[in-house]
Structure 1
Amino acid sequence: MATSDLKYSREATGSYLTKVTELIWGGIAKNRDRFESIKDEPLRGSILILGLALLSCVADGALRRHIGLSHRRGLIDGGGAEVTVFDVTQHGAKADDHTDNAEAFIQTWRAACDSGVPAKLVIPVGTFLTGPVVFQGPCKSTEPIVFEVQGNVKATSDLSEYSSGQWILFEIIDGLTLNGGGAFDGQGGAVWKYNDCHQNKQCQPLPSSIKLSKVKNCDIHEISSFDSKYFHMHVTDCSNIWVHDVNFTAPANSPNTDGIHISNSDSVNVTSSQIGTGDDCISIGQGSTNILVSQVFCGPGHGISVGSLGKYNNEEDVSGILVTNCTLLNTTNGLRIKTYAASQPSQALNITFKDITMDSVKNPIIIDQKYGSRESEPSRVKISNVHYQNIKGTSTSDVAVSFLCSSLVPCEAVELVDIDLAYIGLKNMTLSGSCLNAKVTSGGTQNPACS
């Protein structure tokens, strides 16, 4: 706050308090006879104390309004601490579906993040248009900052405004809660036609809707994202992230609209959510460790994938992946591991897919180590210790289990236990499995068996 603004705030506050003081003492003066007739000294003292208490409350509220410290107080967080609320409309945001609110959002964030008190930023009910915006930490409070979206945050559709790869960026924050029951509208339908990545390897990706970068200890729940221009959510260089009870949607033919893409992150948990997109519901990229995906309903989309891996040099290994208790409906793939041919060496290991239901899924179980490439040189991504357990449902393709592993570094320690899939395709075909360059062990039901 500028010195002139602070001076004005003090002067205005002082003037306001003077008037309040005059009213309190004026009230006593008008009733002086009654006041002095009170013989009970403790009672007279109590009246004076009540007046001073009122003055103190007014002073606190007036001062906070003038210096902009808070907009509402009195909320209590889960730990019992009082939370200060920072409402974007009090920093100039307008829910008129026309005004670009990026500056107002940033001002509100800075006020909340720099306040040093337990803080909650609120985007209230209404439609708030905004271009790209960065919510950057670190924040000064030791308590997690809450970002509560009650309304609809709508992206601008002019791609020239997006100089980086995301629309909403949260970065360098330790302790963040994103919730509120509201939605992020990426306006992807207006720009998907400009996505040529399917034919141009040097394409410029469209901006993702929400990106977390260098964020720790984050809880995201009860939000929606629809029609993202690119990924709905990208989690990178993060740790201890919980995403649950979210709903991410885009049409089945929308390009590269992955629900959640994870890379270079540890301890990311995605649970109890519905994701239906034009690409992977969840994609687990390079450098991802200790990832849990549980109770996710996926469809439409390209399934739940580890990869793609091996596209870039010096990629870090992927390990400790558990996908369990999920349902996939009308997806083009089910449980997939995908790596590029002619890649640099890396590993994908210790991966478990367990208790999965497939409903009309094409390619229910697939390892593809020639993904996205016609290169004859094999992949150098080593896949090992992969477990498929209790995978049931229906397949629209006659090859329900397909392992196309690298001839240079074959897949090792791949386990198939209790696989029970039925063919419901249009052709009169027998369900089969194909396992190339893979060392597979099996147990329990094998329908289809790997050959």
Structure 2
Amino acid sequence: MVGPLKFEGPCTAPVTVKVPGALKAPADPKRLQFTFHKADQLKIEGITSLNSKLFHMNILNCNNVTFQDIVISAPKNSLNTDGIHIGRSTMVIITGATIKTGDDCVSLGDGCQQINVEKVTCGPGHGISTGSLGRYHDEQPVFGVTVRNCTLTNTENGVRIKTWPASPSGVASNVNFEDIIMNNVSNPILIDQEYCPYNNCLAKVPSRAKISDVRFEGLRGTSATPVAVKIVCSRGLPCPNVSVEDEDINFVYNGKEGSSTSPCANVKPQVSRKVFPATCTPSA
């Protein structure tokens, strides 16, 4: 199989497709490796995706989807090679994935609801991201995201939520990050409502995407940068109900521990149990 394969319903009964071999990717760099659109009760299991030119796996307008035992690999300098991208889909589970890529290991776009990401090993890559949100009009709310029991190693970010400044209105709420290990991760914990790559935005206009009810619990490990935690919310819509619990992330450089910080803006996090670095400590 050297060309695209499209499955199109409706189907009168469940369909199982097994590929006991290797698929040769097309040379066209605009092609996605795997894309699933308007699928219901879908399971993707035991697939290895190598060196996609763009997203490895793209889920759009799907319901009740499970990814299990997935392996994804691309060079760490390959642009836009997100491992698994989900948009406008509900009840999606990702479990047992190993992802090494040049962009987000897992990225969640607008309209994602009831998403569970667990037992993912990520790195290299840009981490596990909700967003970017707020770039386009008519984006749908993000609600009910849980990321747990994951390990990130040598990634440019850890877990993050990112929205554009000068954005249309939007919502991201009930987002939970639990029991995550960071190994030499830059920006381990990040809420960034001033996301503006390549300065391609009106950075002085605050984001109108509202982030609320976000919980970080049991995140630990080492940061490759002095800023271990950064929570920068919109000055137009500060973030309510952000909580940090049982967190321990140390800055390590050349094998030696340094002082890590946790700057904040437009947020008053609720803190419980041991938290290091202390939440909302300014950068040096």
Q: With the length of structure 2 as denominator, give the TM-score of the two structures.
A: 0.94
**Which deviations, in whole Å up to 9, do the C-alpha atoms of 1:392-411 show, x marking residues without a partner?**
10000101000111110011
Give 1:229 deviation, angstroms. 0.9
1:346 aligns with one of 147, 163, 170? 170
Report what 1:387 is aligned to.
215
Query: Does residue 1:303 correspond to 2:127, yes or no?
Result: yes
Report what 1:444 is aligned to.
273
Distance 1:223 1:150 in 2: 10
**Bigger helix share:** 1
Give 1:450 deviation, angstroms. 1.6
Give 1:262 deviation, angstroms. 0.5
**Alignment-mate amino acid for residue 329 of structure 1:** T
Distance 2:25 2:107 in 1: 23
Give 1:208 deviation, angstroms. 1.5
Query: Does residue 1:403 correspond to 2:237, yes or no?
Result: no
Give 1:428 deviation, angstroms. 7.7
1:264 aligns with one of 79, 82, 88? 88
Unmatched segments (≥5 aa) in structure 1: 1-127, 160-190, 192-205
Equivalent position SS for 1:311: coil
Give 1:137 deviation, angstroms. 1.8
Distance 1:304 1:266 in 2: 18
Query: Does residue 1:229 correspond to 2:58, yes or no?
Result: no
RMSD: 1.3
**Which deviations, in whole Å up to 9, do the C-alpha atoms of 1:253-309 show, x marking residues without a partner?**
010100000010000000011011100000011000000001111111000000010
Give 1:429 deviation, angstroms. 4.3
Distance 2:63 2:75 in 1: 30
Distance 2:243 2:104 in 1: 24
Distance 2:248 2:79 in 1: 32
Equivalent position SS for 2:147: strand
**Which deviations, in whole Å up to 9, do the C-alpha atoms of 1:330-389 show, x marking residues without a partner?**
100001000111110010000000000001100000011111245211110000000000
> Sequence identity, in percent?
44
Assess, with a 3 A threshold, how the Cα gap between structure 1 residues 222 and 407 changes in structure 2: closer, same or farther. same
**Which deviations, in whole Å up to 9, do the C-alpha atoms of 1:58-101 show, x marking residues without a partner?**
xxxxxxxxxxxxxxxxxxxxxxxxxxxxxxxxxxxxxxxxxxxx
Distance 2:37 2:270 in 1: 39
Report what 1:320 is aligned to.
144
How many residues in Structure 1 have an aligned counterpart in Structure 2?
275
Alignment of 1:186-335 (within 5 A): 191=29, 206-335=30-159
**Alignment-mate amino acid for residue 347 of structure 1:** V
Query: Does residue 1:145 correspond to 2:6, yes or no?
Result: no
Alignment of 1:102-181 (within 5 A): 128=1, 130-140=2-12, 142=13, 144-157=14-27, 159=28
Equivalent position SS for 2:79: coil
Distance 1:400 1:250 in 2: 26
Equivalent position SS for 1:150: coil
Give 1:445 deviation, angstroms. 1.1
Report what 1:125 is aligned to.
none
**Alignment-mate amino acid for residue 151 of structure 1:** G
Distance 2:137 2:31 in 1: 23
**Alignment-mate amino acid for residue 247 of structure 1:** V
Alpha-carbon contact 2:250-2:257 (below 8 Å) kept:
no
Report what 2:160 is aligned to.
336
**Alignment-mate amino acid for residue 438 of structure 1:** V
Distance 2:32 2:268 in 1: 38
**Alignment-mate amino acid for residue 154 of structure 1:** K
**Alignment-mate amino acid for residue 369 of structure 1:** Q
Distance 2:223 2:214 in 1: 21
Unmatched segments (≥5 aa) in structure 2: none
Higher Rg of the two aligned structures: 1
Distance 1:449 1:370 in 2: 23
**Alignment-mate amino acid for residue 151 of structure 2:** T
**Alignment-mate amino acid for residue 416 of structure 1:** V
Equivalent position SS for 2:167: coil
Instruction: Using CA pairs under 8 Å that are at least 6 residues apart, name the structure with larger relative contact order, 1 or 2.
Output: 2
Distance 2:40 2:55 in 1: 20
Report what 1:10 is aligned to.
none
Distance 2:150 2:22 in 1: 29
Give 1:135 deviation, angstroms. 2.0
